[in-house]
Amino acid sequence: MKITFLGTGTSHGIPMIGCSCNVCTSSDLKNKRRRCSLYVVVGGKHLIIDTPPDFRDQVLSFGVERVDAVFLTHPHADHIYGFDDVRRFSDLQKNHIPVYGSARTIKQMRKKFDYVDRKSHSFGGVPRVCFTDQTEPVRIGEAIVTPLPVSHGADMVYGFLIEGEGARVGYIPDCNGIPAETLRYLENMDLMILDGLRLQEHPTHFSIGESVEMLARIGAKHSCLTHLTHNSEHHALQTQLGEAVTVPWDGMEIQL
C-alpha cells in the first residue's frame, strides 16, 4: 500500500490570502500546504479521499493518473470543491467512478453538483460517477474501506479505515472527538493520520496537543498530523514533536 499526502493544510490553504507571516512567506515547500486530500494505491486500485479546491493542482503535481473510487469525509467546501475535475478521470477511464460518503454528504453532493446526472452533457463534460450512501465497509479490489464516524463540532463526519495488502491505515482529517465505537476500529494500526489544527484549542478540531494525546492512545506504528494552519512552521513543529509523530508535507509518500 502506498500513501501520498495530496494536501495537509487547513481550509484557507497555506500561504493564506493576505498574510505575510513567516510561514506564509516561506520558500520551503514543506510550508506550502494545499487543502486536505489523500491518495492511496492498494492492490492495483487507486483511491482518493476528498476532492478539495486544489484537487487539479494536486493530481498534476503528484502524478495521480487514475481514480478507481472517491471517498468523501464531509461536504465542507475545503473538502469537495475540486470535485468537478473527477470528470477527467471518468472520461479517460470511460467508466463511472463510485463516490462514497454519508447520506448527508451524498445529499449535499447531489445538490451542489446537480448537473452531474444530466444526460444532456457529453460523457466528458461532467464527472461520471455513482453516488453511494456508505454506512458499511466497501471492497474496492483487494482494499476494504470502512467509514469511521467522528465529531466535527456539532456535525458527525467520516474518517476512513483502509485495509489491504496486510496494512491498516486510518485517516481522520477533521475531528474534535472520536466515539468509543469508532476507536475500537483503530487497533493494531500501521499508520494513523489525524487532525491537529494548531497549538490553541478550537471548537471543531483537535489541537495539536489533543491530537498527539489521541495518537498515543491509538498507538499506531506510525502517526501523522494533518489539517495544519499557518501557525505551525514545519521544521519547528517537527522538532517539538520529536520522533513520536510525523509532520507530513504535500507530496510526502509512505510505503507500507
The verdict on residue 32 lying in a domain is yes
Q: C-alpha grid cell for residue 121?
A: 452533457
Q: The domain containing residue 125 runs over which residues?
A: 2-248
> Residue 217: CB partners within 8 Å, gap ≥ 6?
183
254 in any annotated domain? no
pLDDT in tens, the chain (256 residues): 999 999 999 999 999 999 999 999 999 999 999 999 999 999 999 999 999 999 999 999 999 999 999 999 999 999 999 999 999 999 999 999 999 999 999 999 999 999 998 877 777 889 999 999 999 999 999 999 999 999 999 999 999 999 999 999 999 999 999 999 999 999 999 999 999 999 999 999 999 999 999 999 999 999 999 999 999 999 999 999 999 999 999 999 999 9
Residue 59 main-chain phi, psi, to 5 deg: -70, -30
CATH number at residue 113: 3.60.15.10
Distance CA(1)–CA(241), nearest Å, equals 26
Domains held by the chain: number:
1
Q: How many CA atoms lie within 13 A of 57 on its CB side?
A: 12
Q: How many helices (H) and strands (E) does the chain have?
A: 7, 13
Residues 6+ apart with CB under 8 A from 230: 12, 14, 15, 16, 19, 21, 23, 24
DSSP 8-state code for residue 33: B
Give this prediction's pTM: 0.97
